Chain A
Amino acid sequence: MDFMVFQYPMISVQACLDGILLGILFALIAYGMALQWGVMNIINIAQGDLVILGGYIAYFMYLYGIHPAWGVIVAPIIMFFVGVGLYKLVINKVVDRDLFISILATFGISILFMQLMNFAFGADVVLANSGYGTTFLFDSAVVLPNSKIFSAFISILFAICLVIYMKKSKLGRAIRATAQNSRAAKILGVDTEKVYAATFGINAALCGVAGALISITFTIHPYMGLPYTIRSFMIVIVAGLGNLPGVALSGMGLGVFEEFADYILGTEFRIGAVFLLLVLILVYRRFKLSRKREYLK
């Protein structure tokens, strides 16, 4: 246990800001997951691998001399088609089955993606340099890499665009209708097959954006997808499906929690603390649900 974080107030500020910026990025990935989970009832284990694939797109742009920030535009476009292709090949066959089948299928996709990326891009850890510099706050007591601020800003921008799109556009309305009741939507003339494909594509596109941002702020590697899947899964569990402000809040909360766990318990317990929190939340939710059930009786 180390309480340095409380002895120096500036470290707490730093931890909070780091956590929030990180959390916003996680929230973007989680939002994609919540969307397709809500609409298609699929838990996508390959979520993190889609993120990493998006990262490689930005990385290759960087290698060819294009600034990796353009990746946030190119990666989602490519990833959208990857997502739609994936839907047509695999996901459409498991979409109406039970959750277990979809977990197995996406787990398989995840392994396949890891190996393919390893085969295509090699097993080296890579990153793209944005050259964005650093922001100093409070007389240099708090430092924030501009790349992290940039990623948070882009994440928020994409989230807002998506919310507006879902509210206003025809496809957005169809997606929401399908999420509420796919049979009713079908009867009322919504082409649910198309909606599913679009939803999976949008999810993959969001992963693409997040991946491009991660290649700028952190590092990417073919086998690094799983932590992103787990975090987004957890955020969605906490926030519930179809609750965007909830996803954003729980993303930031998770980020801050992680940072503080890192300072207080030590870096080695950071991921462990996240899992502990997940267990606690699941237990609490169950407890709350069972109380509700008793009440209904």
Chain B
Amino acid sequence: MKINKIIISFISAFVLLLSTSVTSFAKVVGDKIILGSAISLTGKYSSNGVHTQNGYNMAVDRINSMGGVKVGGKTYKFEIIYYDDESNPKRAAQLAERLISQDGVEFMLGPYSSGLTKAIAPVTEKYGVPMVEANGASRSLFTKGYKYLFAVLAPANLYLDVAIRTAVELNGGKGVRIAQAFEQDAFSQDVRLGILDAAKETGSEIIIDDKLPKELNDMAATLVKVKQMKPDVLVVSGHTKGALTAIRQIAEMKVDVPMLAMTHCDAAKLSKQHGKNSQYALCASQWHKTLTYKDNFFKDGMTYAADFTKEFGYDPPYQAAESSAALLVFKDAFERANSFDQKKVRDALAATNMQTFYGNIKFAPGGQNVDKPMVLFQVMCDGAGKCENKVVAPLKWASAELIHPIPKWSKR
């Protein structure tokens, strides 16, 4: 009997504790706006998860120190509750559920990667919680009719679109012959669809269309075909591993191709890991520090990069920059809505039309940002073997001229 009583009192104490903790975490407490985010701090996405978190934190500090968010004549500060989703979509969905129903969060920031955003979006949608995400680019996120999802980045199908169009332009407007190899995940397949669209519109022909399995880090077979068929453009997308494998094997097998376009070179730190072998590779990127967009908080890309490096000790990849931009969007929307009503904030988000250091932001009805083009940079090395990423397209922001065609290996 005595033990029973102890157990019961323990349980009731625990329930009491839980109930008070729920109220203490609600959406806006005192002068704080509490945002929630499930983020990959461990597991296979942890490096990019940390970039995302650093980007969020940097923006929170900056906005708070520069006066915070003004709603209804009162000033509020941002605060974020993070949970580690272990790079696991199921866990991410559970955590979103927990953030909303237990912690009482009413506004969410996105996780890292398309896959995890896909897992969380149905949850935020169900509860009508506005979510601004910065790291889910998959096209399928924006075709489901989600009303509460907003992405500050350009959708995946636009990643390498620019590359194909540039190649066609350089070919005198005539179609080009494309070889492509894509990993079989949601993101890369979206990039592939984008290429198919671009090829159709420009009258280009796809002569090699390989799909790389996730486990594989050998693409020698594809490259042998490329050697044989001599395409005008080789497109590779398979996250960091794809980019690193492609550069290694292209250099080892001395594959000559006039244009090589990839994704994830930024995260792969291509020029750092491969040095001169990565020279001339074209990389799709959401952002580059040399772009000349401006805002009041971070000033411009170069200042952002310098401040970020000072705080975190490394050059910001675009994953960090877009994450910081997500907070700027939230602040802007809160102030325009002048309320914490989720519906009003959602409508304000939908009407967003602003410039940040990261780029212009304006959402299409599907939630994707349609006002910011992708940029292409090319890895360029000097005589001493020091390599840098230089923006080459679109021409408006180009800081260097595109080198095309890529010199043959025998002439390098």
Contacts and interface: CB of A to CB of B under 8 A. Distances in A.
A222 B47 contact: no
Interface string A120-149: 001111110100001010000001010100
A116 B46 CA distance: 13
A156 interface: no
Interface stretch (B145-153, B211-219, B319-327): B211-219
Interface string B47-83: 1100000000000000000000000000000000000
Given A145-B253, A218-B245, A259 B221 contact: yes
Contacts of B274: 129
Q: Give the interface centre of A119, A219, A221 by most chain B CB atoms within 10 Å.
A: A219
Given A145-B249, A219-B244, A14 B224 contact: yes
Interface in B146-197: 181, 184
A111 B173 CA distance: 52
Interface stretch (B21-29, B37-45, B283-291, B363-371): B37-45
Contacts of B45: 123
Nearest to A22: B218
Interface string B79-108: 000000001000000000000000000000
B254 interface: yes
Contacts of A224: 215, 217
Interface string B212-248: 1101111111101101100000000001110011001
Contacts of A218: 217-218, 245, 248
A259 B218 CA distance: 10
B253 A143 contact: yes
A224 B87 CA distance: 15
B252 interface: yes
A101 interface: no
Contact of A118 (B42, B181, B245): B42
Contacts of B184: 268
B249 A118 contact: no
Nearest to A126: B273
Nearest to A271: B213
B406 interface: no
Interface string A205-244: 0000000000000110111101100000000000000000
A8 interface: yes
A266 B181 CA distance: 11
B268 interface: yes
A134 B253 contact: yes
A4 B225 contact: yes
Contact of B244 (A18, A115, A118, A127): A127
Nearest to B267: A124
Nearest to B220: A18
A67 interface: no
Interface in B394-409: none
Q: Report whether over half of chain B's contact residues are helix, strand or loop; otherwise say mixed.
A: helix
A268 B268 contact: no
B222 A124 contact: no
Nearest to B274: A129
Contact residue range for chain B? 35 or more
A123 B47 CA distance: 6
A27 B248 CA distance: 23
A219 B252 contact: no
B388 interface: no
Nearest to A231: B215
A219 B125 CA distance: 39
Contacts of A119: 42
Contact of B47 (A122, A219, A223, A271): A122
B335 interface: no
B252 A145 contact: yes
A129 to B, nearest CB: 7
A180 interface: no
B268 A125 contact: yes
A37 interface: no
B253 to A, nearest CB: 5
A87 interface: no
Given A118-B42, A218-B217, A267 B252 contact: no
A118 B245 CA distance: 20
B307 interface: no
A226 B87 CA distance: 18
A24 to B, nearest CB: 14
A113 to B, nearest CB: 14
A270 B217 CA distance: 12
A22 B210 CA distance: 20
A56 interface: no
A117 to B, nearest CB: 11
Q: Give the interface centre of A11, A127, A136, A222 by most chain B CB atoms within 10 Å.
A: A127
B181 A267 contact: yes
Interface of A: 4, 8, 11, 14-15, 18, 22, 115, 118-119, 122-127, 129, 134, 136, 143, 145, 147, 218-219, 221-224, 226-227, 259, 262-263, 266-268, 270-271
Interface of B: 42-48, 87, 181, 184, 210-213, 215-222, 224-225, 227-228, 239-241, 244-245, 248-249, 252-254, 267-269, 273-275, 277
7 contacts: A118-B42, A122-B47, A124-B269, A125-B240, A143-B252, A218-B217, A270-B216
Q: What 8 A-B pairs have minimum CB-CB distances, sorted nearest first? A: A145-B252, A268-B211, A262-B221, A227-B215, A123-B46, A218-B217, A125-B241, A125-B240
Given A224-B215, A268-B213, 14 more contacts: A118-B42, A123-B45, A124-B267, A125-B241, A219-B241, A221-B241, A223-B44, A227-B216, A259-B221, A263-B221, A267-B211, A267-B212, A268-B184, A268-B211
